[in-house]
Copies of this chain bind each other. A is one copy, B any other.
Amino acid sequence: MRAQAEGIDVPVDSSISAIPDAAARRLTQYLHVLQGLSGAERSRLSSSDLAEAAGVNSAILRKDLSHIGAGGVRGVGYDVSALAGKIAMALGLARSRNVALAGAGSLGRAIAEHPEIGHRGFAIVAVFDASPSRAGDVMSGSAGPLPVRPISEIATRCPGLSVEIGVIATDDAVAQDVCDKFVAAGIGLILNFTGTTLHAPDEVEVRPVDLALELQVLAVSGSRHAAERATRNAADETTDNNATGAEPKVSTKS
């Protein structure tokens, strides 16, 4: 099963399909920033303002907004609430989506209690766990308390709950098993927080989010910076005692 060997473009005429992936990622961020601003008095803002707030280049922001019908007014800018609505519409986030969560450990609990998830159009409607000791526990999700069920009940409960997204936050060992059960239950979108590389049919989209991997990537980026200044052993102290962040780049050595 070749994961992404399908190079031929599939003609999907939906307006959503026009958004180039990377832009969609930023659009969700713009939306989040806009929602934070909608309470403020600013009812309009320019692309540069929004770009500043989101931490991106203003040019790419306008390009991103152009993919959706951004309705910006030339010489003025964008209306905050209207733009937020447009983005949410274009991204298909206008309606709420039901989510099933697998894994009632600390990670699963963190996801269920995550303050943003419930406010961005997602509702966790079921929690499953492989451990019998956890079955029967009640987790406090954003949409109310949720009983923890054994994962064997994924097949029976998910279809009735109109679950669209499955989140896997279990131990690595059972991740593939849970994935298979989600797929069997008709779930087409899976968010995988485990370190396991999941295998699923082509029509199922699996998105990995490995927390440890993010740490590693960060560490690698740091090594790159460290390598710039000195090719020596980078295993040393960082014990500078500059109270303020003056911290000049150490370019001496050698």
Which A residues are within 8 Å of any B CB, using their own CB? 3-6, 10-17, 19, 21, 24-25, 27-29, 31-35, 38-39, 53-57, 69, 71, 79, 81-82, 84-86, 88-89, 91-95, 97, 99, 105-107, 109-111, 113-117, 119-122, 155, 159, 162, 164-165, 167, 171-172, 183-184, 186, 188-191, 195, 197, 199, 201, 203, 205, 207, 209-228, 231, 233-250, 252-254
Q: Known contacts A4-B55, A110-B106: does B85 contact A195 (CB below 8 Å)? A: no
Indicate if the CB atoms of B89 and A29 lie closer than 8 Å.
no
How many copies of this chain does one complex carry? Answer: 2
Residue from B35, B91, B162, B171 in contact with A115 in the complex, judged by beta carbons closer than 8 Å:
B171
Shortest A250–chain B CB gap in Å is 4
Max chain B C-beta neighbours (<10 A), residue from A183, A223, A239: A223
Q: Within the assembled complex, what's the spacing in Å between the Cα atoms of A167 and B217?
A: 13
Distance to closest chain B CB from A3 (angstroms): 5
A13 and B239 alpha carbons, distance in the complex (Å):
12
A-B contact pairs, 20 of them (CB 8 A): A4-B57, A17-B228, A28-B217, A33-B197, A35-B250, A53-B197, A71-B241, A92-B222, A97-B219, A107-B110, A107-B113, A114-B212, A116-B210, A120-B212, A122-B212, A155-B243, A165-B222, A184-B244, A188-B226, A203-B247
- A234 and B92 form a contact (CB under 8 A): yes
A12 to B107, CA, bound (A): 38
Is the Cβ of A233 less than 8 Å from the Cβ of B92? yes
Known contacts: A12-B228, A94-B249. The answer to whether A220 contacts B28 by CB under 8 A is yes
Is A5 a contact of B55 with CB atoms below 8 Å?
yes
